[in-house]
Amino acid sequence: MSTEHTKTTELTDPRTGRTRGTAPLSREREVAAAVAAARAALPGWSALTPKDRGRRLDRLAALIEEHADQYAAREQAGTGKPGTETAGEIEQVADLFRFYATAARTRTAPASGQLVAGHESWVRWEPVGVVGVIVPWNYPLLMAAWRCAPALAAGNTVVAKPAETTPDSLELLAEHAARALGADVLRSVPGDRQTGRLLVESAVDMVAFTGSGRAGADVAARAGTRRVSLELGGNAPAIVLPDAPADTCALLAEAATFNAGQSCAAPARVITLAENYEATVAGLAAALGSRLAGRDFGPLNNPDQAARYDRLVASSGAKRNLAADLAPDIDGQRGNWRPARLLADLPPDDPAVTEEVFGPLLTVQQAASTEAALALANGVPQALAASVWTTGLGTGLDLVARLNAGEAWLNCHLVQTAELPHGGRGTSGHGTDLSVLALHEYQRPKTVTVRRTL
């Protein structure tokens, strides 16, 4: 990409608030050039057999592992995450590319054969073309892998735009992709929201977007009749029944503060019955109180998100607002640090309940019955993830089945693997990430029917 006259944006370390460098703001020229290059690379990449594409994707996974320290440094610079979190995410990224290197060779297809008398039919799965990928700042590398790995395995080329605050690791991934996959098979266009709009409106054949609900609606409107895959915000409920396992509060506190709560699938709304409400509030307060920002989890990503978090907390009508401490070595720093927090005794229409907070915070509500708890869980427009906590297997399985969510857990939360699909409903979007099912997000079926006799 030519940098002549290219505008730049200032990058900030979320741990300290200090400037850490600059990044380009891609505009019409850069976006058009990247899309054109990906278009030119498409025939060669899509013509490879799944076996040959798989070999190259496996090589990319190896490069990610070989340069794990570089990826970790870039992820930490943009997100401020602890080393244990970044190490685990980079391991997942390499695993995703390895998974799809093999998954592309296993086909799932509708029935084929002599379905009409005198004719033979089958289905060809063909790549969509050039895919525009837009990923958020909460998991810069991992969310890119969720989108790019199946798109590439399916035979598409990709132009990916990272979030404005976290361009670092995707830039390195594109460099390694050029070495392992071939020139221009995966391109990165760093920039801001305007860059994202330009990419959506460019000559891409499909857009895969991960981000907020409002931005997702804008992407869908701009994409028009082209295919769009949306993974949008969540506001995950966790129904905690009186017979919940003894480690429920500890596990929920850990999941709610992982990545500083900046995960669309993180638990956000704990719902109990009246009989275990006070015990759950006390248990969660203790568990969250033992999780320290700066020791157990990192900062919020940027000042805008920190301000939004502060606004939601300040506007809450919760009668109990219990905040943990900050780790001593970061207390008083200028970074976007926010403590683990519990809000209890709040109205059902409280902003902290109805909106996605996206921070290290849990609310606790009580319901009059199990049915009322289920109604509260399903009572918001977001429907991405949810969990149920009970030692009663039959009750738990019944509630899991009736939750309106694309992914549901029983006695655990945020447990994910490449083999299992993830996707939203309602305002949480549509489409599938992970698993072999994600390949179909980036493929088009073509039915071929041949008359057997001439």
Query: Active-site residue numbers?
Result: 231, 264
Nearest to 322 by CA among 305, 342, 338, 306: 342
Structure tokens at 6: 């290219």
Give the Å distances, CA to CA, from 389 to 270, 346, 353, 409, 415: 10, 22, 19, 9, 14
18 Cβ partners below 8 Å, 6+ apart?
12, 334
Q: Which residues contact 344 (CB under 8 A, 6 or more apart)?
A: 281, 318, 319, 320, 322, 363, 364
Which CA distances in Å does 246 have to 207, 290, 299, 390? 44, 17, 29, 10
The one-character DSSP state at 293 is: B
In sequence order, the 6+-apart residues with CB closer than 8 A to the CB of 31 are 159, 189, 191, 195, 198, 199, 202
For the record, the structure tokens of 324 come out as 């943990």
Task: Report the run of H or E that residue 160 belongs to, with start and end.
Answer: strand 157-161
Q: Which residues pair with 301 in a beta bridge?
A: none
436, 106 Cβ separation under 8 angstroms: yes
> What does the buried/exposed string (b/e) look like for 320-337 if buried means 16 or more CB atoms within 10 Å of the residue's CB?
ebbbbebeeebeeeebbb
Q: Which two tokens stand for residue 289?
A: 């109180």
Contact indicator for 118, 452 with CB cutoff of 8 Å: yes
Amino acid at 186: L
Q: Which of 35, 33, 42 is nearest to 132 (CA)?
A: 35
With beta carbons less than 8 A apart as the criterion, state whether 316 and 346 touch: yes
Residues 260, 288 contacting (CB under 8 angstroms): no
User: If we measure between CA atoms, which residue out of 132, 141, 181, 138 comes closest to residue 160?
Assistant: 132
Cα 228 to chain centroid, rounded: 16
